[in-house]
Structure 1
Amino acid sequence: MKKPIIGISSNILGLEKGLFAGYKRAYVDVSYINAVINAGGVPHLLPLNEHEDIIEEFVKNVDGIILTGGNDVFPLLYGEEPKEKLGEIFPERDKFDSLLVRYAVTYKKPIFGICRGMQIANVEFGGSLYQDLSYNKNVSIKHFQKARAHTPTHSITVASNCFLSDIYPEGIGFINSYHHQIINELAQGFTVTAKSADGVIEAIENISDEIFIVGVQWHPEMMAINDETAQKLFKKFVNEVNSRKKN
């Protein structure tokens, strides 16, 4: 059986020193690549660019897409002015990722959004973000951990009858956390499927015969090194991609 091809959105790394100073490289963290391979998929890097026709071809030639983590999302995309605690933005990447979402929906390709990837999907469908955790007065736990990336540091409560529910059958999970932006207004068509103890949205989904989008706020690719639950999450996504590919 042919393995499904999973497109992974990339970022840009600018070299500042040495013989190649000024040159830029497209990259993704190796943890995404390994997680896809171990889940039975074939990882395919999608280099960031501004050519809409090329981005459309990217989507047409893969079976599913992972939207990776990275910079803050540009607030003007959801109708807000930038606030004091907004972090580094990269509007070119916002456009790239937004186009990946649009074409994935057009061509019915499943999407798995991770951290920023979940946020950009929510924004693309009309939702909004808190530009910093401090702008939500209910936040009371640490969401940017000072621990190794594969270490889970806080709990989540997982809804029943959702994509995550058989991965977390007890309705409780433990995750890592590296973010300072969170979902504010949830986009139409999406459902919240996991929250942290202080009410932060940790997972969302929009699933039908026409659309498949699952997003998580944490970084399961980093945990998948030694965490069976994180591995199951990627395997279930790859299996879903394979199933929809056949249909």
Structure 2
Amino acid sequence: MKKPIIAISSNILKDSSGNFAGYERTYINSDYISSIEKNNACAIILPIVDDEESIKTQISIADALILSGGYDVNPKFYNEEASKNLGQICTKRDEYELKLIKYAILKNIPILGICRGLQILNVYFGGTLYQDINSLENTIKHSQDKDPKEEIHSVKLSSKLLEIFGQDEIMVNSFHHQAIKELASNFEVCALAKDNIIEGVFSKEHDFILALQWHPEMLHESNINMNKIFQTLIQKAKK
């Protein structure tokens, strides 16, 4: 039986040393790949390209799409000026992923957004972002310092994620300083931190668009419950 193909959006990394200083590299953390391969699906990495026909072709071979973490989203895409605490951006990636989302929706394949993936999905559908949640009062720590497998804070689950996890509260890891400010109108919140930062959303209008602010791919080996996210995505991809 043919394995479903799960496409994963990538990052651009500029080499900073050696003979190739300044060269751009396409990369993704290996946890994204292992979380797919572990569940009897085929992971492919999508390089960032400009040509729209190439983007259509990338999506044409995919049975599901994961939008991975990475750079801050350029605030011009939600009509704001850059704040002084905006992190590194990659406009080329933003433009690419907005088109990638467009064609994934047209094909009606399942989409899973992780960290930045949640943010770019919210922007695509008309929402906005906090450029730096550290400027807000009374927020908990949302960007842990080292071990990606440490679960640093709790989130309250509802609706779609309550169905997947079978419990209404879990502990998650956390590596972000941006977050959803104005929620896109077609999204419903399904995970919330104790400081009311949105940690999970799903689309009320599409068969399966789910996005999380934490990194389940980094926990799928150490926390069996996190693997349910990828099992659910792959089950949807098989339909």
Using the size of structure 2 for normalisation, the TM-score is 0.96
> Does residue 83 in structure 1 map to residue 107 in structure 2?
no
Q: For the residues of structure 2 that align with 1:16 and 1:130, how far apart are their CA atoms? A: 30
Are 1:116 and 2:113 an aligned pair? Answer: no
1:241 aligns with 2:237: yes
Which runs of no fewer than 5 residues in structure 1 stay unpaired?
Answer: none
CA distance in structure 2 between the partners assigned to 1:65 and 1:191 by the alignment: 20
| Structure 1 position 128, deviation (Å) | 0.3
Q: Is the counterpart of residue 221 in structure 1 residue 220 in structure 2? A: no
Letter in 2 for 1:43: A
Q: Provide Cα deviations, 1:191-228, integer angstroms capped at 9, x if missing partner.
A: 000000111100000154x5421000000111112110
Q: Distance in 2 between matches of 1:59 and 1:136?
A: 38
Note the C-alpha offset of 1:12. 1.2
1:61 aligns with 2:61: yes
Give % identity. Answer: 40
Q: Deviations over 1:91-126 (max 9, x none)?
A: 000011111111111111111000000100000000
Q: Secondary structure at the match of 1:19?
A: helix
- Give SS of 2:18's match: coil
AA in 1 matched with 2:104? A
Give how far 1:134 is off: 2.8
Answer yes or no: is the 8 Å Cα contact 2:188–2:204 preserved in 1. Answer: no
* C-alpha contact 1:150 1:224 (8 A) present in aligned 2: no
1:203 aligns with 200
- Secondary structure of 1:166's counterpart equals helix
Alignment check: 8 A CA contact 1:36 1:43 kept:
yes
Distance 1:111 1:145 in 2: 26
2-structure distance, mates of 1:22, 1:198: 40
Kept in 2: contact 1:204–1:215 (CA 8 A): yes
CA 72–233 in structure 1, closer or farther in 2 if over 3 Å, else same = same
Residues 123-162 of structure 1 mapped to structure 2, 5 A cutoff: 123-137=123-137, 139-159=138-158, 161-162=159-160
Partner Cα separation in structure 1 for residue 24 and residue 76 of structure 2 = 26
How many residue pairs get matched?
Answer: 239
Specify the SS of the correspondent of 2:142.
coil
**Which residue of structure 2 lines up, in the alignment, with residue 178 of structure 1?**
175
2:104 & 2:204 partners in 1: Cα distance?
Answer: 13
2:185 corresponds in structure 1 to 188
Indicate the residue corresponding to 1:22 in structure 2.
22
Unaligned runs of 5+ in 2: none
CA distance in 2, matches of 1:189, 1:151: 32
TM-score, reference length from structure 1: 0.93
Q: Equivalents in 1 of 2:77, 2:104: separation in Å?
A: 19
Q: Deviations over 1:29-52 (max 9, x none)?
A: 101000011122100110011111
- State the one-letter code of the partner of 1:98: L
Inter-partner Cα distance in structure 2 for 1:50 and 1:82: 24
Cα contact 1:203–1:216 (8 A) shared by 2: yes
Q: How much does 1:23 deviate?
A: 2.4
